[in-house]
């Protein structure tokens, strides 16, 4: 079982993204859609268990929009009424009809584990990264976007002071790689997973 070090910052991600990262062997700096970040950032956090802003966004189809869910269940030949099959349940089994949801919402922890392939993280010494107060300047984050990021983070219970980042790709070979076993319990993965197929 992993013991979190205060000197390590983590790139938290889902199982789906983990597979892509392992295939590329790097964590690539990414820009978010519609943002005013002039330079892309590979984001990390010193949050010890999970970074709330790493939760995937579920795009929900409703009668007024053309958004679809991320699980590729959309078929343009389906009628709106047939989308009742795509209603959502949260981790407590509470029912949310699709037409009562916003077109985009953050997945819950349970949904992320179940629908996005589990939880993974890549750890790097935070001394190798830029802290939030520096990265926002280095990445030329527009002041308005900066305010939006902080507001969104606080609404999700995240703390921007815990954020770190890199403007350059981060090799997975430089990272400590872990996956979540039981909720809240992290286990280090063997480096052989990284070297396999090299």
- The model's pLDDT over 154-169, given as tens digits with 9 standing for 90+, comes to 888 889 999 999 999 9
Which among 30, 8, 3, 45 has a CA at the least distance from the CA of 128?
Answer: 8
Which residue, of 47, 82, 106, is where some domain finishes?
106
Question: Same structural domain for residues 152 and 186?
Answer: yes
Question: Same structural domain for residues 172 and 141?
Answer: yes
Tell whether 24 is covered by a domain: yes
Using a cut of 0.95, tell me whether the model's pTM lies above it: no
Alpha helices, DSSP H, located in 100-142: 109-115, 132-138
Q: How confident is the model at residue 63 (pLDDT cuts 50, 70, 90)?
A: very low
In this structure, what token pair is assigned to residue 187? Answer: 């286990």
Q: Count structural domains, the chain.
A: 2
Question: Same structural domain for residues 160 and 66?
Answer: no
Question: Same structural domain for residues 184 and 144?
Answer: yes
Question: Same structural domain for residues 80 and 168?
Answer: no
Which tens digits make up the pLDDT trace of 20-49?
999 999 999 986 544 545 789 999 999 999
Q: Using alpha carbons only, what angle is made at residue 183 by residues 178 and 186, rounded to the nearest 5 degrees? A: 20
The residue segments making up the domain with residue 25 are 8-55+116-195
Question: Same structural domain for residues 63 and 127?
Answer: no
Q: How confident is the model at residue 82 (pLDDT cuts 50, 70, 90)?
A: very low
Question: Same structural domain for residues 64 and 18?
Answer: no
Tell whether 3 is covered by a domain: no
Q: How confident is the model at residue 102 (pLDDT cuts 50, 70, 90)?
A: very low
Question: Same structural domain for residues 91 and 120?
Answer: no
Question: Same structural domain for residues 134 and 163?
Answer: yes
Tell whether 135 is covered by a domain: yes
Question: Same structural domain for residues 163 and 68?
Answer: no
Question: Same structural domain for residues 51 and 80?
Answer: no
Which among 171, 47, 68, 60 has a CA at the least distance from the CA of 119?
Answer: 47
Alpha helices, DSSP H, located in the chain: 15-24, 109-115, 132-138, 143-155, 192-195
Q: How confident is the model at residue 60 (pLDDT cuts 50, 70, 90)?
A: low
Tell whether 161 is covered by a domain: yes
Question: Same structural domain for residues 47 and 63?
Answer: no
Task: Give the C-alpha separation, 163 to 137, whole Å.
Answer: 13
In this structure, what token pair is assigned to residue 63? Answer: 């009668």
């Amino acid at each position: 079982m992993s013991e979190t070090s205060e000197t390590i910052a983590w790139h938290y991600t889902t199982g789906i993204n983990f597979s892509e990262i392992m295939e590329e062997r790097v964590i690539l700096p990414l820009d978010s859609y519609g943002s005013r970040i002039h330079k892309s950032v590979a984001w990390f956090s010193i949050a010890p268990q999970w970074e709330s802003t790493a939760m995937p966004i579920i795009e929900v189809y409703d009668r007024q929009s053309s958004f679809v869910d991320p699980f590729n269940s959309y078929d343009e030949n389906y009628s709106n009424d047939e989308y009742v099959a795509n209603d959502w349940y949260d981790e407590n089994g509470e029912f949310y009809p699709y037409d009562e949801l916003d077109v985009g919402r953050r997945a819950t922890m349970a949904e992320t584990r179940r629908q996005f392939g589990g939880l993974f993280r890549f750890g790097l010494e935070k001394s190798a990264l830029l802290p939030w107060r520096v990265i926002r300047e280095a990445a030329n984050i527009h002041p308005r976007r900066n305010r939006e990021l902080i507001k969104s983070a606080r609404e999700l219970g995240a703390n921007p002071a815990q954020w770190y980042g890199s403007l350059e790709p981060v090799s997975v070979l430089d990272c400590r790689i872990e996956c979540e076993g039981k909720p809240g319990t992290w286990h280090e993965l063997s480096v052989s997973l990284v070297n396999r197929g090299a």
